[in-house]
Amino acid sequence: MIPLSPSLDRLITEIAKLPGLGRKSAARLALFILRQSEDDARRLADAILDVKQRIHLCSVCANLTEDDLCSVCSDHKRDRGLICVVETPGDVLTLEKTNVYRGLYHVLGGALSPLDGISPQDLRTSELFDRLKDGSVREVILATNPTPEGDVTALFLARELNGRKIAVSRIARGVPIGAELENVDEVTLARALEGRTSV
Ligand SMILES: [Zn+2]
């Protein structure tokens, strides 16, 4: 076998670090990039650097944004009395695709996992409680993943929110147990959101 040129080998190695790609798929993508024009290749490289430099977390909800506030937090037509708590910014995108939810979000940045040493302090939980202090929020919807970690997180938050004058609900079990929100189809997720139950 002819050894790969070092630059091609380097590109394949970097692409193979992306989730879901083995070295074989990475080699196919690297060869595709090699066949593209230099302009196309530069646009790809620039786009990758651009998201890294421009995108950061919304100062209120920790959703992804290029501004101080994300597009949801800065939209005055959204219902400010509702906060949907999710694990990742990807979950916000998934829920937005259902087009049924008109409230705000709060991205925790993960889920509780005692085995992995992830405690409430490692998530944006205190930021959530701070948002509830002014009394403008009437309901918190717990939309963490229906995995053991997501359930533990929802239980923890439900306990912490108990005793406040805020309704707390968990998205309905239309979402398959153990599934991640981003893999659930939009109709199922929309139903799960509408059929949420108080906890
Ligand atoms: Zn936001």
| CA 65–ligand 1 middle distance (angstroms) | 8
* pTM value surpassing 0.85: no
- Residue 23 tokens read as 């070295």
| 14-62 pLDDT tens trace | 999 999 999 999 999 999 999 999 999 999 999 999 999 999 999 999 9
Condensed to tens digits (0 to 9), the pLDDT of residues 2-12 reads 778 999 999 99
CATH number for the domain that contains residue 25? 1.10.8.420
Distance (angstroms) between ligand 1 centre and the Cα of 77 equals 14
Residues 25, 192: Cα–Cα separation, whole Å:
36
Cα–ligand 1 centroid distance for 28 (angstroms): 38
Q: Does residue 39 belong to any structural domain of this protein?
A: yes
* Predicted local distance difference test score (pLDDT) of residue 1: 65
What are the pLDDT digits (tens) for 80-136?
Answer: 999 999 999 999 999 999 888 999 999 999 999 988 999 999 999 999 999 999 999
Secondary-structure breakdown of the chain: helix, strand, coil percentages, each rounded to the nearest 5: 45, 15, 40
**Does residue 70 share a domain with residue 50?**
no
What's the pLDDT tens digit per position in 142-180?
999 988 999 999 999 999 999 888 999 998 766 566 667
How many structural domains is the chain composed of?
2
Distance in Å, CA 18 to ligand 1 centroid: 27
Is 49 inside any structural domain? Answer: yes
